[in-house]
Amino acid sequence: MADSPKSLGVSAELHAYLVAHGSPPDAVLERLAADTSAMGQIARMQIAPEQGALLTMLARLVGARLIVEVGTFTGYSSVCLARGLAEGGRMICCDVSTEYTDRAVQAWQEAGLSDRIDLRIAPGAETLRALPHDPPIDLAFIDADKSGYATYYEEIITRMRAGGLIAVDNVLWGGSIIDMTDTSRDTVALRAFNDMVLADERVDVVMLPVADGLTLCRKK
């Protein structure tokens, strides 16, 4: 059976089953996923539907009033995260591309979320360093350039409340994370990041085989 392009080690048939047995994508997400898929190979940057459902649930579980996302792309993850915000909550999206985030803005409008999302087009580290420490961040999602993960993580965690959660995508990197013959920049950066988080005594950590690998870091 062919592997699903979104979920490492899960067949397309099994992936379809697990998506069908969770909260399903609505019309906005389905339209966005189809439009992004039509963009070609770069569409692989979009998260899997089960990740989206998980992000919504995580936001609701932590009672998120402030969410920060680094790497918005065409907006699938931001729609899911913003839908989990507590009443009166807001979300800050960090990205460097208006070409892709224009699609996100359209999706936010369709989903009725525009009033709670603040898009900031600039290098992620620059945006994060400009954020105040109060109010603290409740939930963050990192899914951008892999060489920047360590910097994004550090800037976020110093602004996060105790009990806050950081979710980090692509931590298994298609399985290349354990292929020591792969010394490409992104793979090496992800290995270093995973080891750094493991050694960080400020957080409790679990790495999950969701999609391309998702690490959850809870600040103590």
Per DSSP, the chain holds a count of helices (H) and strands (E) of 8, 7
What tokens were used for 126? Answer: 């620059």
What tokens were used for 91? Answer: 């979300």
- Give the residue-averaged pLDDT of 10-29: 93
Instruction: State residue 123 phi and psi, 5-degree precision.
Output: -55, 135
For residues 127 and 136, give the distance between their C-alpha atoms in angstroms, rounded to a whole number.
Answer: 15
pLDDT, position 7: 81
The pLDDT tens digits for 68-106 are 999 999 999 999 999 999 999 999 999 999 999 999 999
Contact 96, 63 (CB under 8 A): no
- Give the residue-averaged pLDDT of 95-119: 97
Domains and CATH numbers, the chain: 12-166 (3.40.50.150)
pLDDT, position 9: 84
Q: What share of the chain is helix, strand, coil (3-state, %, to 5)?
A: 45, 20, 35
For residues 11 and 1, give the distance between their C-alpha atoms in angstroms, rounded to a whole number.
Answer: 6
pLDDT, position 190: 98
Q: What is the pTM of this model?
A: 0.96
pLDDT band at 5 (very low <50, low <70, confident <90, very high): low
Q: For the chain, where are the alpha helices, taking DSSP H only? A: 12-20, 27-37, 49-61, 76-83, 98-111, 124-129, 149-157, 185-199
Question: Per-residue pLDDT for 6 more than 90?
Answer: no
Q: Report the chain's mean pLDDT, rounded to a whole number.
A: 95
Q: SS3 of 64, please?
A: coil
Contact 118, 46 (CB under 8 A): no
